[in-house]
Structure 1
Amino acid sequence: MSFQAYLDNVEAKTGKTPQQFIDMARTKELTRHGDILDWLKTDYQLGTGHARAIAHVILHGPEFEVRHTTGPHRDASGVLELDGKRRPE
């Protein structure tokens, strides 16, 4: 599963975009990785992998290092969509 797919799955499960999670974490003044994971797991019942994906964008923004260029974990670019899944036009 690609990094973007993790974020899209979180949105499908919670109804919240990555940007909304960023905004909520700022409001709650959550800045530590462990605190963010606890919040996401407790309040949104996210598993560790999905919570870590959201925690990454909360702490580091949309850019990341592309490590997989082939296979099911590949990402097209090193920039994530934070405003929600792309809808067909």
Structure 2
Amino acid sequence: MPEPVKGPASYFPSIEQKYGRPIAEWKDLIRASPLTKHMELVGWLKTEHGLGHGHANALVAHTLAEDRTK
């Protein structure tokens, strides 16, 4: 049995279902934004794209962490 997904990625299925965009598209939007700080990006996703705080936070956290490991 596969191990359950933990951390920010655990939100991904519900984000895709609720907002109708694949996670890769959200990550591309975050990376294309001129904003760089975590909470600035969270606020931007909430105001410009209508995401809830938890979903926006999960996307930003995962994307920024991914970019730090590149």
Same fold (TM over 0.5): yes
The residue number in structure 2 matching 1:32 is 37
| TM-score (structure 2 length as normaliser) | 0.68
Q: Note the 1:1-89 alignment, pairs <5 A.
A: 3-61=8-66
CA contact (8 A) 1:14 1:44 kept: no
CA contact (8 A) 1:37 1:52 kept: yes
User: Highest Rg: 1 or 2?
Assistant: 1
| TM-score (structure 1 length as normaliser) | 0.56
Alignment: residue pair count: 62
Structure 2's unaligned 5+ residue stretches are 1-5
Alpha-carbon RMSD: 2.2
Higher RCO (CA 8 Å, separation ≥ 6 residues): 1
Sequence identity percentage: 33
Structure having the higher helix fraction is 2
Q: 1:30 to 1:19 in 2, by over 3 A?
A: farther
Matches of 1:21 and 1:30 in 2, distance apart?
Answer: 14
